[in-house]
Structures are given as structure tokens and as C-alpha cells.
Chains A and B, each alone.
Chain A
Amino acid sequence: MVILLELMAVPTILLLCAWLCKPTRILTKLSALLLWVQVAVVAIVVHPALLTNALPLVILPEITVERLDAMFAILTQVVVASSLTHAHVFFAHDDAHEPENHNKLRLFYTCATLFAIAMTSVFFCKNLGLIWISVEATTLCSAPLIYFHRNKHALEAAWKYLMICSVGIAFALLGTMFIFASSQYGAVAGGSLNLDQLTQSAPRLQYPLLRLGFLFCLLGYGTKAGIFPLHSWLPDAHSEAPAPASAMLSGGLLNCALFAIWRVSRLVTDSGHQQLVQNADLTMGVITVVAASLLLVRQHGIKRLFAYSSIENVGLMLAAIGVGSGSLFLFLAINHSAAKVALFLISGNVIQAVGTKSLHDIHGLLTVSPSWALVLLLGGFAVTGAPPFGAFAAEWQLLANISQLHLWPALVALLFALAISFLAVSVHVGRILCGTPKQMVTAFSPVYSSAIPVGLIIITLFAGLTAVHKFLW
């Protein structure tokens, strides 16, 4: 209970600030500061769970923290803090043009804070019902973020997001009920959604119902994560949301949805049907990676490009879940979140400076702002898994795991798709950097505005350099 109070203290202050601070100039600065305080608070509170052989940290009866949960929670807090710190720069630019958007900003900060709470609770809940409620809450809190610009495109994206994800999540609810039903015949008296109880009695779960439940959960949470045939909301939402919101969606929300899939997959693995998890998750993952890499080739919007790259990375993470490796899933997620948040934040700056999202009109960034160009270049390499970055080590390990399982078709498809996506992103980013710029206004100091993205790129570079050592030698 005390831990819950500690975790909720800073968000409560933030919500109060968003409600009370009429002039948003103070609000944006204050929340940037408070969010980094929150990162520290979360890290300190959950650090006992990070130690090896630690017992789960109990917050409330069905809300506990284990190692992987703690790592994901810290990652998500860092993503939110980075995005909203950068939002100070981003909205300062908007502010100059539209004087009357204070209420919009206050709503944005309120929803972002609630969004962060909902995302964190996905990781801590040990009850499938609570996980479902949290995931649905993330949808509701993030829809207003997408609708920030209040124009027709934002409206269309928000509507699609809300409808497609709600229907998807409804299927996940059905899946949750199937799992509940599978537990009530002999496994747990009266049935249960508590993951600890379910895991303990996993071999006694009714398999046909459990399988249906797993598949519906994969379909439902997969819609939220943007796996291939169900991804249509993702590029629209990421492209129309303001850059800090796109960064939070890509770096935070997708991990949450995948984490829900991870929980259900673990349960099925524990019940002794590892083959089902491997077939379903790995196949869906590989299909998603291949489809996303092909779609990456013909892109016309800078944020849509990075959104498709997110879909590709979701496919990789899903494949890692299919292989059954939690640490690999985490490592992919850390690298993807760090690099992709950096890319979305910088592309937000670029869009503001050039005044268009279209890749046809953004050229010559290298001459206009070398620091942004550098971040885009390194970020582009980092998300596609070029050598010194963390994603390279993670993808290497994923391919090694898949070849150990002798799944050659999947291995070949992944290699092919990774090569295509690397080329596609490199060519698109290259076109942005080179050429002659059309009139580009540098409205704010580039050095200051690329501080957070540079920091995130360094994180993934560091992860890559330390992990190469661990994985390859």
C-alpha cells in the first residue's frame, strides 16, 4: 500500500498541476522536471525486484513486481519523461503561432499522465482481467493525445484508432473469458484470472479452451500492437498525433500490448503447449516483419515511415516472445523504444521547421541542421539494426535462437525482410539528409532541441556495445 502511494505521488501532483496551472509555460517545464523525478521514484521503488533471485515485490494482492515487469516499467517511464521533456521544446514552437491553445495543452498533459499510469499498471498487474482493463484504459487515455491538433486528419486518425483498437480489445476480453473458463474445471476451484494461481495449476487447465483464449488474446492485443493484417490504425495515429504523443505510442504503448501477449504466452507455455505459442507468435511475428519491410519501401510521409518501422520491430518482438525468451523481448524493446522515440521527436522538429510531413519536400537537412541530421542518421541505423547499436545484437540473438530451433523458412524470411527494411529506411533517410533544402525555417535552436534524442541514441549505442560483448563472445 505504501509502495502504491509512493508510485502515485508524482502523477497526482502532475494531474493537479495540469488542472491548476493556467499558464502552460510553467506547466511544460514543471512536468518535464517532475517526470524525471518519477523515473527516479519508480527506479528506486522497484529496484529490489531487479536483484537476482529476488522475491516479487508486492504492491497490492494482485499487483506485484518481478524483474521483467520492473525493467519494462522503468523503460516506459523513461520514454514518457523523454517525450514530455521534449514536448516543452515542441509546444513552445506551436505556442508562438496559436496563442489560445492553453486548454489543449492542459488536456494533453492530463491525458499523458493518465496514459503513463495505465501503461505502468499493465506491467504490474498479475491478473488477466486487470491487464485487460489497463490496456483498454491506455486506448482511452491516448485517443485525446492523437486528436491534439483538432483538424480533420487528426479526427479521422483518432476515430480509427478508437474503433479498431476497441474491437480488437473486445476480442482480447473474449480470450480472457475463455482462459477463465479453462481454469474452472478442476484447475482452480471456481476459476481464476490470477496469473500466479493459473501458472501453478497450468497443466490442469482445459487445453481446448486455453487454446481458444490464447488465440483470441493474440488477435486482440495484437491489434493494439499493430501486427500485420490488423495494423491499419497505427500509421495514421502515429502520423497525425503530435510528435511527443507519437513517441509515447511507439515507445510505450506497443510494448504494453506485446507485454500482455507475453503474459498469455507464458501461461500457455507453462501448461505444456510450447508448440502452440511458438507456431502462433513466431509465425505472426515473421509475417509482420516481412509485410512491414515491404510496405517501408514506398512511403511518402516521414512519420508514416517510422510508424511502419515500428510495425517491423513489433514483429521482431513478437517473434522473440514466440521463441520464449523474455530477456530478448526486453532487449529488443529497450533498443526500439530508445531509438524510435528519438526519431519521432526529431521528425516532429523537422516537420515544424519545414512545414510538411511529405518526404518529397524534406531535403538537405544536413546543411540546415547538422545535429538533427546526425540524430536522424544514427536513429535510422539504430532502428534497422545496424552493427554498433543494440538492435543489431538483439536481432543477431533472435536469429541465433530461431536457427537453434531449426526453423529455416522463418530464418530466411527474417533475413530477407531485415535487409529490405534496412535499405528502405537508409534510402529514405538519405534523401532527407542530402539534396538542396527548400525554404527551411530554423525556428528554435537545434542544439537544445536535440538534447533528449541524442541521449536516447547514446542509450541504445551503449546497450549495443555492452551486449555485443555478451552475445558474441
Chain B
Amino acid sequence: MNLPLAQIPLLLIALVAILMVGSTHLRLNIWLFSAQALLVTMATALSAVQHSDSHLYIIAALLFVLKVLAVPKFFMYIIEKVEVQRDTGTVVRAPVAMLLSIAFLWLSYILARQLPVPSGDTIGWPGATAAISLLCTGLLLMLTRRIALSQIIGFLVMENGIYIFGLTQTNGMPMFIEMGILLDVLAGVMLAGLIAFRIKKNFEHIDVTMLTELKENL
């Protein structure tokens, strides 16, 4: 398999996601997320060079400023304020979850090969593999973690996966849509971060698995 240069960041993104599932240190997870976002930015920039598409450069610049710098900075600020270091995870422990996510990567490869995308000028599978595996890994992070912040990171990993899908499997979404999506996602992350603060303030913890007061039979 001789992959074009542009496809390498895509596969690295999927590998970084697996490392995120394996790490229980919040700080490390935020660094890994930042690294993942950097790889996403690189993939965007490479695609911009390849298609000589000017608006992809703007998207790449926005991604760099927002996802690589601003969001991790915001998360670091939150964990300093709420004083948590580790996220021990729920029933599914980190090593098991990591093995699961490796299995997901393999499954994604099979799925990506079957995806009904008519083959164009580029090789389609690395992008689709990365996208599907990021979706699964993000969901896995959201389901297996206790701390509110880890769930937000899981959501962002999912969103990266969807972005990668759009980047590699389509001719590029219209730019104003792309920007609107970015804006919405960031506003959502800000809001979720603020609510995480409140959870800490009200419950003295930010363990969302313990938010179980609202049940059917009160």
C-alpha cells in the first residue's frame, strides 16, 4: 500500500483517538485532543493544497485558532477550577475500552471499504475509516467516562470524525455552512463547559454518572 502523503494525517487522527480512550489523565487527554485537532488542520491544509481551494485555507486557519488553541485552553482552565486530575471511567476500564476502540478501527476499515462511494481521483478509504472510527471512539469516550469534561471531549472527537467525513468524502461543503457548524459546535462546548462548572458547584463533584435523581418513579 503506497498511500499519498495527504492520507497519513487521517490515519494518525484515528490512532490519537485510540490513545485518548486509553488515557485516564484529563490533562493528557486535552493535549491529545489538541494534537488531534492539529492533525485535522493539517489534513485540511493538505487538501487545500491538493485542490488549490482557497476557502479550505480559511477553514484550516479557523480550526487551528479555535480547536487547537482556544478549546484546549478553555478545558485547561476548567480542570484547574474544578480541581480534577483523573477520570477513572465507569464499568468499562480504560484498557478494555482501548482494545474495543482498536476493534472499532478494524471494523471501520471494513465498513469504509463497503461504503457506496464511487471511486474518484483519490483513495477514499483512509478518510472514511478515520471518520467512522472517530465517531465510534467518541461515543465510546462519552459512554465510558464519568467526568463531565471527558464527555465534552468525546463529543468533540465525534464531531472531528464527522468533519473528516465531510472533508474527504465530499467535494467540500459550502463554506458558510462549514463556518456555521463550527460556530454552533463551539457555542455548545462553551455552554456545556459552563454547565460543568455548575455541576461542580451544586454537587461538589463533576461525575455525571451520579446524576440520577430524575427517574421515572420519583
- Measured CB to CB, the residues of A under 8 A from B are 127, 129-130, 132-133, 136-137, 139-140, 143-144, 147, 150-153, 155-160, 162-163, 166-167, 170, 173-174, 177, 180-181, 184-185, 190-191, 193, 206, 208-209, 212, 235-236, 239-240, 295, 298-301, 304, 358
Contacts and interface: CB of A to CB of B under 8 A. Distances in A.
Contacts of B218: 300-301, 358
B170 interface: yes
A206 B116 contact: yes
Given A163-B151, A170-B155, A155 B202 contact: yes
| Interface bin, chain B | 35 or more
Interface stretch (B36-44, B62-70, B157-165): B157-165
Contacts of B166: 177, 180
Contacts of A184: 170-171
Interface in B188-205: 188, 191-192, 195, 198-199, 202-203
Interface of B: 116-118, 135, 139, 142, 148, 151, 155, 158-159, 162, 165-166, 169-171, 173-174, 177, 180-181, 183-185, 187-188, 191-192, 195, 198-199, 202-203, 208, 211, 213-214, 216-218
B78 to A, nearest CB: 14
Contacts of A301: 218
Contacts of B203: 152, 155
Contacts of A127: 177
Given A129-B174, A152-B202, A206-B116, A162 B181 contact: no
Contacts of A152: 202-203, 213
Q: By DSSP majority rule, is chain A's interface helix, strand, loop, or mixed?
A: helix
B63 to A, nearest CB: 16
A136 B159 contact: no
Nearest to A175: B162
Contacts of A158: 195
Given A159-B148, A166-B155, A190 B171 contact: yes
A167 B177 contact: no
Contacts of B170: 177, 180-181, 184, 191
A156 B155 contact: no
A177 to B, nearest CB: 5
B139 to A, nearest CB: 7
Given A152-B213, A180-B166, A193-B173, 9 more contacts: A136-B181, A143-B191, A153-B213, A170-B155, A170-B158, A181-B170, A184-B170, A298-B217, A300-B217
A135 to B, nearest CB: 9
B162 A170 contact: yes
24 contacts: A129-B173, A129-B174, A133-B177, A133-B183, A136-B185, A136-B188, A140-B184, A140-B191, A144-B191, A155-B195, A156-B213, A163-B155, A166-B192, A170-B158, A173-B162, A174-B135, A177-B162, A177-B170, A184-B170, A185-B118, A298-B216, A298-B217, A300-B218, A358-B218
A358 B217 CA distance: 10
Nearest to A179: B170
Contacts of B202: 151-152, 155
A210 B173 CA distance: 16
A130 B139 contact: no
Q: By DSSP majority rule, is chain B's interface helix, strand, loop, or mixed?
A: helix
**Smallest CB-CB A-B distances: 6 pairs:** A129-B177, A208-B116, A133-B180, A136-B184, A156-B211, A236-B214
A92 B185 CA distance: 35
A144 to B, nearest CB: 8
Nearest to B169: A181
Given A133-B177, A174-B162, A167 B142 contact: yes
A143 B189 CA distance: 12
Contacts of A191: 170-171
A299 B215 CA distance: 11
Nearest to A192: B174
Contact of B188 (A140, A236, A295): A140
B188 A162 contact: yes
B177 A155 contact: no
A304 B162 CA distance: 34
